[in-house]
Amino acid sequence: MHRGFRSFFRTPSFSVDGGRALSASLPLKHQSFTSEVRIRRHAVFSVLALWLALAGSPLHATIVAPGAPDSPETGGILRITAENSGGTLDPQISYVHITYQMEAIVYDGLTTFAKTPSKLSSHAIPDLAEALPEPQDGGRTYVFHLRHGIHFSNGKEVTPDDVVASMQRIFKVNSPTAGPYYSHIVGGEACLKDTEHCTLKGGVEADDRAWTVTFHLTHPDAEFFDRLAFQHASILPADTPAHDTGNEAPLGTGPYRIVSYEPNSGLKMERNPYFRQWDAVAQPAGYPDEIHYSFGLDPEAAVTAIENNQYDWMLESVPLDRQAEVGARFSDRVKLIEQLVIYYAALNVNLPPFNDLRVRQALNYALNRKAVVIYNGGPAVSTAACQMLPTGAPGYEPGCAYTKGASPEHPAPEWKEPDLALAKKLVEESGTKGQKVVIVTPGSGGSGAIANEIRATLVDLGYVASVRPITPVIEFSYIQNSDNKVQIGLTGWSADYPSASSFLRTLFSCATFIPHSSNSINASQFCDPKLDALMDRAAEVSLTDQKAGDALWAEASRALMAQAPALPLDQTRRVALTSTRVHGEYDTPIYEAVFSQMKLRRAGDAP
């Protein structure tokens, strides 16, 4: 989204390295990093301030709107800002973090993820369904009983027919996860080949009398409930158009509805007048009366605006040059949010020079990941990544194949330092020295600094390298389309749900590479039938033995990195800055911030 939340773009977050804050905004020189960082800043910032808890707040009497929490803390307008919008509002198409967060309180699926604090490894819970059904037919059949009395924001009750139509629509609109997540529904493969006439006949069946929806799968799936909880399986009215709705948000069932959207300026949400809370964990009633999202404010200006209480929350992290100021004056308004996320550079295995395994391995050996960590906030919030499974994900086992003294056959416990000599040797053997390489990166935040570090590393290896910034709104789609011939694309991936397959299979399976498509999540264009078979085996074993399945996923992770279709960079914590008005427990691993759970103090209240 992941989603991964979904994929999203970040600016640098808090940096602590020997007590000094470090800049991620200055351009790098052509020479590569040694063991130390080139650029240092002078402000001192204590990491201990990051861990201070937000204070509680007093209660107030208020008139509670229909569908709102019966609490005196209800009311007000939550004001949020981001540098860019997220593009389409279609929940079955959008695949960027900003819309995943916004739409988590607008749409529901049969299942969902907790919208209250939970563990990183927490799995799906019932949402529009009354309960998680017991598997039948050896794990190939599931009968979901719908809750009665849940309505879309136009007052129409959700019916089993809406569920069937929504599952068909996933294929009709060519949802990015139609293949990897839902094609094992009976009829799914036929729908992939003929999207316009998709019926999922024999795969999804409605029973209006029993108020049930029955799913038939071609094979058992240990992650089926999690896949149904993902945004692309949102349940929409049956008459929702079978095409990308773009700037028009389809009707939803959550506590809020989107009433206006202009991608260049802002978005407005207000309460869904037909919402009544059915589960306080799956979809809790919202505290703010309205939510206003403004686009176009750069992170520097956003920090100042939040400090002055002009906005309550910002999508981007605090720029490094503001760390000392924020840490010294506003530490009680900062939260560190754990997340399953990995940042990486996709290496196109079908284009020179990265169609040569030795070159892909060389870049992995040569990159100084210590620099990446510092540019993204330092060890307080950033950890060097050597594989495409983040720490905390099922199947993750420590190990780094690409550090000095290590190899894919004999990985080290963790990344220590680059091996430039070995990297240069591999490049010489490949015969690709001197070729041109263009790095595509989001054109905002700290991505440019990392792109320049990769460029400098490629120059050290003998290539003619350059950086091409692209507007973040379109960069993710751009690097996916094989027609654009992107050699390296910087991006990030946040877990669609807590699983190894959400990273490995989603990003690197044969099924997720779709030529000539901007919805081809496999930006590396990597396809290895042997790895696919290993991942299939891991998924199958996980059905009955999670521990053995996790061991197979760890093996798949090592096998993937032996082929090096990507350059893992780092894993981060989310650093959130809020106004003095915001309080409450609103942070979760999957959504990071659940806006409906942000409570707002009134003017004059003490924090």
605 band by pLDDT with thresholds 50, 70 and 90 = low
For residue 414, the tally of other CB atoms under 10 A from its CB is: 13
Q: Please check whether residue 85 is in contact with residue 295, taking contact to mean a CB–CB distance below 8 angstroms.
A: yes
Q: What value does the mean pLDDT take over residues 120-128?
A: 89
- Residues linked to residue 493 through DSSP beta bridges, in sequence order: 342
Q: Please check whether residue 162 is in contact with residue 314, taking contact to mean a CB–CB distance below 8 angstroms.
A: no
Given this model, what pLDDT does residue 495 score?
81
Tokens encoding 119: 């563990």
Given this model, what pLDDT does residue 376 score?
85
- What distance in Å separates the CA atoms of residue 110 and residue 129, rounded to the nearest whole number? 5
Strands of 228-312 (E only): list them: 256-262, 266-271, 290-295
Residue with tokens 């106004």: 579
pLDDT(209) > 70? yes
- What distance in Å separates the CA atoms of residue 35 and residue 226, rounded to the nearest whole number? 42
- Out of 51-60, 125-134, 339-348, 478-487, pick the least confident: 51-60
Residue of 492, 476, 508 whose CA lies nearest to 572: 492
Query: CA dihedral defined by 26, 30, 31, 37, rounded to 10 degrees?
Result: 10
Going by DSSP bridges, is the β-strand pair 212-216/141-145 parallel, antiparallel, or unpaired? antiparallel
Given this model, what pLDDT does residue 58 score?
37
- Residues linked to residue 271 through DSSP beta bridges, in sequence order: 256
Q: What 3-state DSSP class applies to 381?
A: coil
pLDDT(278) > 70? yes
Residue with tokens 């959130």: 576
Average pLDDT for the chain? 88
DSSP label at 178? Answer: I
C-alpha count within 13 angstroms, C-beta hemisphere, residue 485: 6
User: Is CATH 3.90.1720.10 the classification given to domain 341-573?
Assistant: no
Q: Please check whether residue 481 is in contact with residue 520, taking contact to mean a CB–CB distance below 8 angstroms.
A: yes
Q: What value does the mean pLDDT take over residues 5-12?
A: 32
Give the model confidence (pLDDT) of 488-515 as tens digits: 999 999 888 889 999 999 999 999 999 9
Given this model, what pLDDT does residue 443 score?
87
- What distance in Å separates the CA atoms of residue 169 and residue 355, rounded to the nearest whole number? 36
DSSP label at 180? Answer: I
Question: Rounded to 5 degrees, what are φ and ψ at 578?
Answer: -125, 165
Q: Collect all residues with Cβ–Cβ distance below 8 Å to 554 and sequence separation of at least 6.
A: 389, 395, 396, 397, 500
**Residues above pLDDT 90, as percent of the chain:** 73
Residue with tokens 């751009």: 478
Q: Assess whether the previous peptide bond of 353 is cis (omega < 30° from 0).
A: yes
pLDDT(150) > 80? yes
pLDDT(9) > 70? no
Q: Please check whether residue 216 is in contact with residue 200, taking contact to mean a CB–CB distance below 8 angstroms.
A: no
State which amino acid sits at residue 322.
R
- What distance in Å separates the CA atoms of residue 322 and residue 303, rounded to the nearest whole number? 8
Given this model, what pLDDT does residue 43 score?
31
DSSP label at 322? Answer: G
Q: What is the 3-state secondary structure (H, E, C) of 562-602?
A: HHCCEEEEEEECEEEEECCCEECCCEECCCEECHHHCEECC
Residue with tokens 């054109």: 443
- What distance in Å separates the CA atoms of residue 411 and residue 407, rounded to the nearest whole number? 5
Given this model, what pLDDT does residue 327 score?
75
- What distance in Å separates the CA atoms of residue 135 and residue 424, rounded to the nearest whole number? 53
The residue ranges of every structural domain in the chain are: 341-573
pLDDT(14) > 60? no
Q: Assess whether the previous peptide bond of 41 is cis (omega < 30° from 0).
A: no
State which amino acid sits at residue 542.
S
Residue of 256, 210, 260, 252 whose CA lies nearest to 235: 252
Is the Cα dihedral 359, 365, 371, 377 positive or negative?
positive
- Report the run of H or E that residue 169 belongs to, with start and end: helix 160-172
Q: What value does the mean pLDDT take over residues 96-104?
A: 92
State which amino acid sits at residue 1.
M
Q: What value does the mean pLDDT take over residues 123-134?
A: 96
Give 307 or 56, the one with higher predicted confidence: 307
Stated length of the chain:
607
Query: What is each CA distance from 212 to 72, 163, 237, 238, 370, in whole angstroms?
Result: 38, 10, 16, 16, 53
Q: Collect all residues with Cβ–Cβ distance below 8 Å to 580 and sequence separation of at least 6.
A: 309, 333, 601, 607
Residue of 337, 290, 283, 338 whose CA lies nearest to 115: 283
- Out of 367-371, 375-379, 454-458, pick the least confident: 375-379
DSSP label at 136? Answer: B
Give 37 or 430, the one with higher predicted confidence: 430
- Residues linked to residue 577 through DSSP beta bridges, in sequence order: 334
Given this model, what pLDDT does residue 445 score?
64
Nearest-5° angle of CA 159, CA 165, CA 166? Answer: 90
Read out DSSP for 247-263? TSPPP--SSEEEEEEET
Query: CA dihedral defined by 222, 536, 215, 142, rounded to 10 degrees?
Result: -30
DSSP label at 87? Answer: S
Q: Collect all residues with Cβ–Cβ distance below 8 Å to 461 and sequence separation of at least 6.
A: 362, 363, 366, 423, 424, 427, 433
pLDDT(585) > 60? yes
3-state helix, strand, coil split of the chain in percent (to 5) is 30, 20, 50
Residue of 526, 485, 482 whose CA lies nearest to 504: 526
For residue 1, the tally of other CB atoms under 10 A from its CB is: 28
pLDDT(1) > 70? no
Question: Rounded to 5 degrees, what are φ and ψ at 294?
Answer: -110, 140
